[in-house]
Chains A and B, each alone.
Chain A
């Protein structure tokens, strides 16, 4: 290695050092500490007196696996992810395709309007949506009432609470991926599209064989981010239903928040965090493998 390359390497390290130090301090260190906490019974009694702290090994995990609410929260989170990811990505892709059409006018205006929910405050929008979902006076029930469907107690019925929150979440976040897809769609080669059209490919054929391969990597990225995001869903159930009705919208992160910060069972809460971390890691690895098979990575 020449002296010049060594100097360059030193400079590179010097420039990345601040960021690396911050990552070490606010990411690696807390993660390690949380893992250490997850094998103790750190609770409010330990806050009172350190002598009450015990090493419990995998005790917290064993406890969690026998807690019905933990499994309930896991199931609810899975439901959020399984329904929410296709809903959110589908809505994003659909609107992006609509906006990509040459016949659409005032494109920047539409983009701004559709992106706006993403950047508005979640609490403010949740309050509005709670009014929309109201069983007696809500706009949604009036609309479905106009076509003869009886009123639905959206946020009050344990069966409709997750779909109701998902409608709100989809409306709130689809704008972000829509912009990402819009950018990706502009890279779809026009001449290829033209050639496919001349060769008699239909609308679906062109989407499947021209558009999709071109936006594949973007789609994978959006899927990875959405899955990670939906597994960590917290704010929406927190402001819409506080985990209710009958704990039907209690998610993993909500469960962790209540255990950790409300009741100060930080040992248990850290164990939950660790499990969630492993879940997201595993799913992301699977997604990357799928992506590699289709040569999107």
Chain B
């Protein structure tokens, strides 16, 4: 068993070094103590926001889509903006859990669990928007092809909206399975910590599938985990590509662009990492995980933001260039209208938050200061929400006929629904932090020996018997 020699340049991932038992204690502690006052305060805020959203959605479903600020020119606005925003947020989780796994980035172990949970919650938030936009959400099963008494009438496999149905539902299912698979060893750890016969032990025992840590099982488990990571990687790229095709396959100037799939994927990862940073910085403080989610983790994520932010900035410039170079007057008008028209404020909010703000991360002092990162990541979240708003609304509001030109304002119901989706997201995240280990216990133990001497013990005991 020759271990690879470890470079002295490598910095230990968990600092200061500690035992495996200490890791278990540290990560399980928030699950085994009573929630703090701060938790209840956050929970009160998030569940109130969720209630507001539930109220708005109930009113909208009972009354109709007319409660939104849409009109004949602007048939898509807040709803699809929020949908694309939330799907994008989810992408960072899969990137951390699958792509960084394939690239053997060991630092991911401290953040992958909670980032994957965020993926699931963000996709739940995203999925609610098309559902309520249907107007008759109780007929949602019509989106799926199944033998029915209407012909059978099948779905249209040539429509990007149907591709979206398959992309989002597959993404949610596979992410959930991947996440749960990663949880099983930790659930076993929690089961074995609980008092024999207690309810906690029975529940974690039920969920742990009889996990014992057997190497015969680990052998298959590691293979399955690797395969799932390999499947999730193209999946996550396909999901936002397909979301972008909702726009790109249309003939609307500002939407009909071949650059959309990579542009959307980069934007999704960019916004997702901003959201991961926003939540992690709060969570590591509140749950006292500063030694596990270190400044180094935050710094690495900031570097991903610099790269993806750069791609997003390049995409904005390319869009403008293509509009000018195409010579198409409608295309040119749409882009000049974006930058100088009545929604110029939204456009420049987007550009300053998404292109200028991330440049601050080039400075090491900024990307190693949690509070600076927190403030900047909030701005990026705002910028990425506006990106979707700009793409959707400014492309529609001044269409081919000036007589049809119009403006869009969200109604109270729409704003309430957006606030409600944040409430749903945060409520789910807070419940998750209370019930399941926020950091992968097993995987962190696996990187404890990182950058440490790995010489086997050789104790020669005379006639040991």
Indicate whether A and B interact. no
Q: Which residues of A contact B (CB under 8 A)?
A: none
